[in-house]
Amino acid sequence: MKLTIKPQKGLGKIEIELSAELWSEIKGLSERYGVPAEKVVEIALTGEFRKQEGDLEELEKKVGELEGKVWKLEKEYAPLRFKAYGLSEDNKILAIELSGLIAENNQLRRFLKLPLRRDPELRKLISYYMR
């Protein structure tokens, strides 16, 4: 694998030949930390490594505990979200039915030659629930 490093300004560039083993290590680090392979090489060349703060095993243990708490909360709130979704769908159906009834009422008013009722607030409410 041939790696070309170009400066941000100027014409000078460096070309390096990397072995397949080294390139696979760089790709592995890239995937592990979720950064582009070029950034891994840049960090390695400039020496911008972060110092490890605290005990890694202790931090992983804390992360595991926090994940457990998150899943516990997820179990508690999943049924509530499901019910809220069901209610929002029910509201949408009721808004559609109400819109149909209003249209039917207006047709009857036209047939009976009565003045039409325009209720913009009710229309806003219906459009809100139909979203």
Domain ranges in the chain are 2-46, 56-130
Closest by CA to 27, choosing from 15, 45, 39, is: 39
CA dist 104 and 102 (Å) reads: 5
Taking CA atoms, 87 is separated from 33, 80, 122, in Å, by 41, 10, 19
List the end-to-end C-alpha distance of the chain, in Å, as a whole number: 53
Would you give per-residue pLDDT tens digits along the chain (131 residues)?
Answer: 777 777 777 777 777 788 888 888 888 988 988 888 878 877 777 776 666 667 778 888 999 999 999 999 999 999 999 999 999 999 999 999 999 999 999 999 999 999 998 889 999 999 998 88
Write the single-letter amino acid at 12: G
41 — phi, psi (to 5°)?
Answer: -65, -40
Q: What is the pLDDT of residue 52?
A: 67
